[in-house]
Amino acid sequence: MELNTRSLQQSGSSKSKGKIMAKIVEEDEEGVEEEEDSLSSGCHCFLCAIKEPDARLRRASLAAFFRELPYCEDDDAGGGAGAGVDGGRSCGEVVSAVWRAAMAAPDDPELPSLGAIRCMSLLLARALADVEWRRRGRNVYVPYYAAHVIGSYTIRSSAHAELAVAAGAVRPLLAFLGGAMTWVEQRAAARALGHLASYDATFPAVARHAAEAVPLAARAASTCVGDVYASFVALAPSKRPKYQRDLLTRGLDGGGGGVVADGEERKAEEWASQLQCWSLYFLSCLASRDVSSHATICHDPVFLRELCQMWGGLANGDSPAGVGLLRLLCRTAAGRAAIAACRDALSGLCDLARSSDDWQYMAIDCLLLLLDDRDTWHAVADSTAARLVDLAELRHLGPRRRLGNAITAALLLDDDDDTVHGRELGMEAKEAIASLREVQVERKGREDAMSRDELVKRRIMAKEKKRQGNDMFWHGEVEKAIELYTEALELCPLSRRRERLVLHSNRAQCRLARRDADAAVSDATRALSLARPAANAHARSLWRRAQAYDMKGMARESLLDCLAFAGAWLNRKDGTAAAAAAASCGGNPKLPYCVARMISKQMSLTGLFSAMATNSSSTKVDRDDRMPNYSDGDGDDGGGDSDDDDDPDESEEEEFAEKEMKLCRSGKGLPIITDEAWRRLARRKKATSRVLSHDHRS
């Protein structure tokens, strides 16, 4: 096959390439433990050819080597001095050296133009066709490294991708994606295929296999976590495949010593996440360029149901994973129809839309696309309206602007009719949309017609209701406090966003005390939608919602809110009790005990393998082990909350916050319990309560 050698004419490339390759050789000779350290040995013919200073001789030697390597009869099992294909080096060792070169200089055209990519494609095909050869000695490493060489060289170069397609790499890569060997090779194949599908020049060659590729990638994304756990993590270290252990632990064992089992498991979890994300990226490339693939992707309802739960995790936070593919599917009628018919997918989108995930805006995009389609509006509104209205006052979120207005417009029908195509909405959705219309249309119109004096009067009345609500809360009358905060919200002008934020956040705290997790999430989300200068910027509401999500068993959402709260807490530089407590740590601020404890708990529950590794008895949380109810202020959000003036309750709130902080730091934080327990707390603080009550009345 004739290869493209135009890149060989580029001036100046040989010197830089020679330096890179010489560095690789030097590291190999010094025995530096790197990613393929378990395979490295002395420098022989291949590496000598790379070090050759004469460009003409170097290219000739390398081209000849890449022509011969796929047909070698390597038998390295005996480990004799004469074994190997390259002066004693096994085929696996040589391919790993090529992979090192590709990783060090993925844009360097010399090795690909001399046949490196073609050689790797032929080695993949041989590994599939000749099982006996594949199992011989260290040849078992060849498919993994060969697929990674192709993936590394095609990560940024369309020209290299064209070489891979011309060499016939697509077919063997699809076989490995389908599980021809193990999940290790499957991961490398998914990476390479995603790169090949991302270029205009090579996409048609991949798309020709879409009928086969889509189900394979979907199955890989759905089953990879279970497969990795069952075939590797769940096994005793001595029973795990040795070559997989070598690949996973390179560089982690500190220089050829014993294999570290916990290091293997951490790496296996990271690789399983990458396999899932790369499979989804491959599907996204197909879906973005070929809309006819949407129907195939949506054909499996189980895959669609699980898609929103597939996320990159903390290790792959830069990958939109499942929601990225869902947004692409929402751009076609076939995709929207399938997603609208899947209530689990809609619920997952709502959960993501009401979280502090970086991809929150993508979930909202999906829901808006579904609501903009009159054919899917009814099913989507019926399932999501009750939760989506919590975001109706969201202004800006990342690159998106006026999202709240878009949500309101999508939910409110122009004809004021609750039926679409003869179908009527459920009661919960009807009530949510009616409430949205009353606030965003009717009430806004009434307030626009009010005089300034009347608005000021309503604001003063709302502040008084809030003060009374605070008083009731600290005396254990939580239900009464909820009523007073609700009345304050009805009075407070819509333009007073900061004051309404505080009221929603306070009411969320009351909902937590009542263990009404759904209502607490709703109020905290509304507070976060009102936050300035950006959404999700109110630390106390983040912590309250984290606790509510913990009650609901939604570990991922709780973890993300905890991490957002922790970031805000550690970066505080104001003069509040929280900042003072942080400053008291000698310039090394620490998280409150209950926050650190919550993060630790949710980290253990959000691991990819947690559902499989943990049985029901070990995940049960005893009553005494529930997360403590902590706020870095009190139920009223203290100083600096008002838009225009200081809050007269600030001294009370900071005093309580300081005491509560001490409890939380010591690990003796207050559990979220009943009204009676709150009354007992109030009685224990009787003297303080009298003083605070007197301050309120005055």
Asked whether residue 244 falls in the same domain as residue 119, the answer is yes
The stretch 496-504 carries a mean pLDDT of 95
Contact status, residue 303 vs residue 221, Cβ threshold 8 Å: yes
Whether residue 494 sits in one domain with residue 404: no
Sign of CA dihedral 178, 181, 184, 185: negative
Q: What percent of the chain has pLDDT over 90?
A: 59
What per-residue confidence (pLDDT) applies to 616?
Answer: 35
Kindly state whether residue 201 falls inside one of the protein's structural domains: yes
Full DSSP string of 592-609: -HHHHHHHHHHHHHHSTT
* Residue 64: inside a domain: yes
Q: Buried (b) or exposed (e) across 291-305, using 16+ Cβ within 10 A? A: bebbbbbbebeebbb
Contact (CB, 8 A) for 310 and 345:
no
The answer to the question of residue 577 being in a domain is no
Tokens of 182: 């193990």
d(CA 334, CA 375): 11
Residue 150 corresponds to which tokens in the numbers above?
A: 């192709």
CB 251 within 8 A of CB 260: no
d(CA 185, CA 267): 15
In a domain, 371, yes or no: yes
Residue 342 above 80 pLDDT?
A: yes
Question: Is the same domain home to 436 and 534?
Answer: no
The sign of the torsion formed by the CA atoms of 578, 579, 582, 586 equals: negative
Compare 589 and 498 and report the one with higher pLDDT. Answer: 498
Q: Which of 434, 449, 464 is the last residue of a domain?
A: 449
**Do 481 and 445 fall into the same domain?**
no
In this structure, are 440 and 363 located in the same domain? yes
C-beta separation of 285 from 197 below 8 A: yes
Residue 173 lies in a domain: yes
- The reported pLDDT for the residue numbered 420 is 54
Tokens found for residue 270: 């990271």
pLDDT at 311: 81
Asked whether residue 303 falls in the same domain as residue 190, the answer is no
Q: Please name the residue that has the structure tokens 């509560």.
A: 660
The CB density around residue 132, as the number of other CB atoms within 10 Å, is 7
Percent of the residues in the chain that have a pLDDT greater than 70, as a whole number = 73
Give the per-residue pLDDT at 319.
79
In 3D space, the residue among 529, 570, 575, 522 whose CA is nearest the CA of residue 544 turns out to be: 522
User: Tokens representing 36?
Assistant: 């393929």
Q: How far apart are the first and last CA of the chain?
A: 92
pLDDT computed for residue 38 by the predictor: 36
pLDDT confidence of residue 32: 31
User: Nearest-CA neighbor of 273 among 283, 281, 284, 262?
Assistant: 281
pLDDT, one tens digit per residue, over 264-304 is 888 999 999 999 999 999 999 999 999 999 999 998 889 99
What is the per-residue burial (b if ≥16 Cβ within 10 Å, else e) of 502-535? bbbbbbbbbbbbeebbebbbbbbbbbbbbbeeeb
The bridge status of strand 400-401 relative to strand 396-397 is: antiparallel
pLDDT, mean of residues 94-115:
93
CB 98 within 8 A of CB 116: yes
The sign of the CA dihedral 688, 691, 697, 698 is negative
**Window from 128-132, 319-323, 508-512 with minimum mean pLDDT:** 319-323
Query: Could you tell me the residue range of the domain that residue 242 belongs to?
Result: 48-71+90-248+264-270
Last residue within a domain, chosen from 522, 538, 553: 553
Token pair 């020679």 is found at: 18
pLDDT band at 84 (very low <50, low <70, confident <90, very high): low
Structural domain contains residue 588:
no
pLDDT of residue 241: 92
Euclidean distance between CA atoms 135 and 271, whole angstroms = 23
Same domain, 438 and 495: no
Q: What average pLDDT score do residues 490-499 get? A: 95
What pairs with residue 671 in β-bridges? 628
**HSE value, Cβ hemisphere, 13 Å, CA-based, for 40:** 24
| DSSP state letters, 349-371 | HHHHHTS--TTHHHHHHHHHHHH
The number of distinct structural domains making up the chain is 3
β-bridge mates for residue 400, sequence order: 397
Tokens 């129907």, residue? 295
Residue 527's CATH number: 1.25.40.10
Q: Lowest-confidence range among 57-66, 193-202, 361-370?
A: 57-66
Nearest to 87 by CA among 78, 96, 76: 76
What is the Cβ-side half-sphere exposure of residue 148, based on CA atoms within 13 angstroms?
Answer: 24
Query: 3-state DSSP call for residue 237?
Result: helix
Most confident range (mean pLDDT) of 55-64, 72-81, 503-512, 685-694 is 503-512
Q: Which of 553, 574, 599 represents a domain boundary (last residue)? A: 553
Whether the pLDDT of residue 12 is over 60: the answer is no
Q: What's at 535, amino acid-wise?
A: A
Same domain for 400 and 353: yes
- The pLDDT score that the predictor gives to residue 92 is 85
Closest to 246 in 3D by CA, of 27, 24, 93, 81 = 93
For residue 413, what pLDDT is reported?
75
Same domain for 433 and 494, yes or no, is no
- CA torsion sign for 237, 242, 246, 248 is negative
* Cα angle, residue 407 at apex, residues 405 and 408 outer, rounded to 5°: 65
Cβ 201 vs Cβ 154: under 8 Å: no
99/224 same-domain check: yes
With vertex at residue 650, the alpha carbon angle to CA 645 and CA 655, rounded to the nearest 5 degrees, is 165
- Summary mean pLDDT of the chain: 79
Statement: residue 586 has pLDDT above 80: no
- HSE (CB half, 13 Å, CA atoms) of 250? 16
Q: What is the CATH number of the domain that holds 375?
A: 1.25.10
User: What residues are paired with 423 via a beta bridge?
Assistant: 420
pLDDT one-digit tens code per residue, 160-212: 999 999 999 999 999 999 999 999 999 999 999 999 999 999 999 999 999 99
Q: Kindly state whether residues 442 and 405 are assigned to the same domain.
A: yes
Asked if the model's pLDDT at residue 7 lies above 80, the reply is no
Assign 236 a pLDDT band (cuts: 50, 70, 90).
very high
Distance CA 102, CA 112 (A): 9
Pull the structure tokens for residue 470.
């605070």
Q: Between 12 and 485, whose confidence is greater?
A: 485
Residues 6+ apart with CB under 8 A from 325: 280, 283, 284, 287, 297, 307
> Within this chain, do residues 296 and 382 fall inside the same structural domain, yes or no?
yes
Q: Is residue 279 part of a domain?
A: no
| Residue 309 binned pLDDT confidence (cut-offs 50, 70, 90) | confident
Is the separation of the CB atoms in 433 and 418 below 8 Å?
A: yes
Distances (CA, A) of 511 to 546, 638, 640: 13, 19, 24
What's the pLDDT tens digit per position in 631-656?
Answer: 433 344 443 344 444 343 444 444 33
Q: Is residue 227 part of a domain?
A: yes
- Give the pLDDT of residue 271: 94
Q: Give me 325's structure tokens.
A: 């593919």
Calculate the alpha carbon distances from 160 to 83, 107, 271 in Å: 32, 9, 25
pLDDT given for residue 181 in this prediction: 95
Q: What is the CA radius of gyration of the chain?
A: 31
Is the Cβ–Cβ distance between 356 and 363 less than 8 Å?
A: no
